Amino acid sequence: MKHVWWKEAVVYQIYPRSFKDSNGDGVGDLKGITSCLDYLKELGINVIWLSPVYQSPNDDNGYDISDYQEIMKEFGTMDDFEEMLSEAHKRGIKIMMDLVVNHTSDEHQWFVESRKSVDNPYRDYYIWREGKGEKQPPNNWGSSFSGSAWQYDVTTDMYYLHLFSKKQPDLNWDNEAVRQEVFSMMDWWCQKGVDGFRMDVISMISKTKEMPDGIKAEGAVYGDFAPYSIHGPNVHNYLKEMNRKVLSKYDLMTVGETAGVTVEEAKRYAGEDENELNMVFQFEHVDIGNNGNKWNLNKVPLVELKKILSKWQTELNGKAWNSLYLSNHDQPRCVSRFGNDSPEYRERSAKMLGTCLHMMQGTPYIYQGEELGMTNYPFTDISQFRDIESINAYRELVEEEKCREKNELIACFQYKSRDNARTPMQWDDSDNAGFTTGTPWIAVNPNYKKINAKEQVNNVSSVFHYYKKLIALRKEYKIIVYGTYELLLENDPNLYVYTRTYEKERLLVLCNFSEEEQAIKIPEEFMTADCRILISNYGRESVKVKELRPYETLVIYHK
């Protein structure tokens, strides 16, 4: 297995709108990020994944880009960007840009031209089709944000494809001119000195030529576009071309967001010798319990979680590289989802989850606030939401189709909505958690007086200090990065236990996912005199462990 810096790195994701506001307009910005770099340096992360900062009308908070080479006005200027980049580099922190090129905004100049006429030079930059009969879209595909994936456009009496919102028309990657535009734009950012790309829904860029109706799940109004536009016929060709023309010329870190990816597909996207991407984000563990419908209250059975994560650990070993994550800007807070966010267990379970993830093989990603154990927001009403996914789902399911009851759906949002991750970063116990001196664009979680960075940086037993230690351990021990993984006790419904092996070194990782004490028999090998505890959330000092207390975790090491 090749040893490279991006395998040894720990990434921190910043969602700029919610990170730190520098000018009191209630919206986070680039100057705000620059002012917090010392905090990130102290935490010890190596790379920032910056969610989109490009010019955008913000239908989907920057994931709808109207100019790839300008900074969103609310976030600042290109000078602010350059300052942030150079200040990050001074601290040894790299910046990975979010690359959103499956679609643009409908306000992008290319689309403004494209919709003007069928013979406009930009027409073929997007995917246009004739309707089927009287005002019927070309097929039954539903968009990821509710409604049809096709939007009728009166000027030319045709429909354009949008797998996300109707303000996010899909680019036509089969058009060579589109690919060249994207590659030269990427090159422009590389010339500026950025260190990599996180590629938004990159598994969707290639669509089949034929676009038949998709299968409808039970009770669904729209059909599924997945088989025709996920891992489509040319996706690997296009990524190889991107790699040849741009990526291979720089020392970058790349990660593809690949909804629907299987282990087999991941080996193609991120295989050691495939010359596509460094790694991908898979979704199986965060989609547990969904069965095609995200809005449910299903808990995550540990046996299933272990099965999925272990499959990725063992099957990619030596062949492709894993990304490790439990949260991001599209997921609820991981302590609320996989742990226990009650005052009694929040800290312990946040530390336990961090350990479980950070001791695996792969590159870990920390989402802003995860290092503080930030929790979901107590949403009670639709007016509190800002996210297009939740707002559209509510309109469609409660108001139009009337197939879901209001309070029941809000309860599901409270558990799963993306807005849980998007409430402002909790910096201190002053007004608005120190995020802004103005009115925040989305409400601050009321628990900020208890849960905030200032308190945790000053408190050595905090989640922050625990994450700091997890990151430091990864830098010190090669086994944590490269060791081979093996799951123990696969059918235990409460304990997640695994080993890592690297040359003569061995690690045992113990995690109790329950709020009850669990008896455990530690393998002899990990109880001998030369065994050491690398980290523990109950301050254990002896390896003679007979039980794990609620949400207890510890890591034992020997050579």
The nearer residue to Ca ion, 78 or 297, going by C-beta atoms, is: 78
Residues 143, 169: Cα–Cα separation, whole Å: 11
Q: Which residue is nearest to Ca ion (CB)?
A: 29
With CB cut-offs between 5 and 8 Å by kind, which of Ca ion, ligand GLC, none does residue 27 bind?
Ca ion
23 touches Ca ion (CB under 5 A): yes
**How far is CA 400 from each of CA 147, 221, 225, rounded to the nearest angstrom?**
11, 11, 22
With CB cut-offs between 5 and 8 Å by kind, which of ligand GLC, Ca ion, none does residue 164 bind?
ligand GLC
- Token readout for 256 is 């593809």
CB 50 within 8 A of CB 17: no
Write b or e for each residue in 100-114: b if 16 or more Cβ atoms lie within 10 A of its Cβ, otherwise e. bbbbbbbbbebbeeb
Q: Phi/psi zone of residue 205: left (φ > 0), alpha (ψ -120 to 50 degrees), beta?
A: alpha
Strands 158-161, 67-71: pairing kind: unpaired
Part in contact with Ca ion (CB under 5 A); list of ranges 22-30, 372-380, 445-453, 517-525: 22-30
Min dist. Cβ of residue 181 to ligand GLC (A): 18
Q: Which residue is nearest to ligand GLC (CB)?
A: 63
CB 168 within 8 A of CB 162: yes
**How many residues belong to the site for ligand GLC (CB under 6 A)?**
9
Residues 248, 228: Cα–Cα separation, whole Å: 29
Q: Phi/psi zone of residue 154: left (φ > 0), alpha (ψ -120 to 50 degrees), beta?
A: alpha
455 touches Ca ion (CB under 5 A): no
29-88: contacts with Ca ion (CB under 5 A) = 29
**How far is CA 396 from each of CA 151, 216, 391, 403, 406, rounded to the nearest angstrom?**
16, 16, 9, 9, 11
Residue 25 falls in the annotated catalytic set: no
Part in contact with Ca ion (CB under 5 A); list of ranges 17-25, 58-66, 136-144, 525-533: 17-25
The nearer residue to ligand GLC, 256 or 339, going by C-beta atoms, is: 256
Residue 200 falls in the annotated catalytic set: yes
CB 396 within 8 A of CB 146: yes
401-420: contacts with ligand GLC (CB under 6 A) = none
The nearer residue to ligand GLC, 238 or 325, going by C-beta atoms, is: 325
Closest to 364 measured CA to CA, from 307, 326, 312, 316: 326
Min dist. Cβ of residue 436 to Ca ion (A): 7
Quickly tell me which residue has 């990065």 as its tokens: 481
The nearer residue to ligand GLC, 7 or 162, going by C-beta atoms, is: 162
CB 260 within 8 A of CB 230: yes
With CB cut-offs between 5 and 8 Å by kind, which of Ca ion, ligand GLC, none does residue 100 bind?
ligand GLC
The nearer residue to ligand GLC, 257 or 276, going by C-beta atoms, is: 257
Considering only residues 10, 27, 158, 495, which one is a binding residue for Ca ion as defined by CB under 5 A? 27
Catalytic residue among 59, 170, 257, 330: 257
With CB cut-offs between 5 and 8 Å by kind, which of ligand GLC, Ca ion, none does residue 63 bind?
ligand GLC
Catalytic residue among 21, 80, 98, 200: 200
With CB cut-offs between 5 and 8 Å by kind, which of Ca ion, ligand GLC, none does residue 200 bind?
ligand GLC
Considering only residues 36, 40, 84, 100, which one is a binding residue for ligand GLC as defined by CB under 6 A? 100
Min dist. Cβ of residue 316 to Ca ion (A): 40
Closest to 192 measured CA to CA, from 71, 15, 58, 318: 71
For residues 28 to 67, the per-residue mask of contacts with ligand GLC, x marking binding by CB under 6 A and - elsewhere, is --------------------------------x--x----
Min dist. Cβ of residue 70 to ligand GLC (A): 18
Residues 450, 463: Cα–Cα separation, whole Å: 13
200 touches ligand GLC (CB under 6 A): yes
DSSP 411: H
The nearer residue to ligand GLC, 329 or 386, going by C-beta atoms, is: 329
Residues 514, 301: Cα–Cα separation, whole Å: 11
With CB cut-offs between 5 and 8 Å by kind, which of Ca ion, ligand GLC, none does residue 25 bind?
Ca ion
For the chain, the residue count is 559
**How far is CA 142 from each of CA 165, 216, 292, rounded to the nearest angstrom?**
10, 9, 13
The nearer residue to Ca ion, 29 or 265, going by C-beta atoms, is: 29
Min dist. Cβ of residue 424 to Ca ion (A): 11
SS (H, E, C) 236-298: HHHHHHHHHHCHHHCCCEEEEECCCCCHHHHHHHHECCCCCCCEEECCCCCCCCCCCCCCCCC
- Token readout for 322 is 């894993």
For residues 382 to 401, the per-residue mask of contacts with Ca ion, x marking binding by CB under 5 A and - elsewhere, is --------------------
CB 389 within 8 A of CB 418: yes
Min dist. Cβ of residue 337 to ligand GLC (A): 17
325-354: contacts with ligand GLC (CB under 6 A) = 329-330
The nearer residue to Ca ion, 27 or 53, going by C-beta atoms, is: 27
The nearer residue to Ca ion, 32 or 339, going by C-beta atoms, is: 32
Q: Bridge partners of 450?
A: none
Residues 468, 462: Cα–Cα separation, whole Å: 10
10 Å CB burial of residue 24 (0-12, 13-18, 19+) is exposed
Question: Active-site positions?
Answer: 200, 257
Q: What does the binding site for ligand GLC look like in residue numbers (CB under 6 A)?
A: 60, 63, 100, 164, 200-201, 257, 329-330
Q: What does the binding site for Ca ion look like in residue numbers (CB under 5 A)?
A: 21, 23, 25, 27, 29
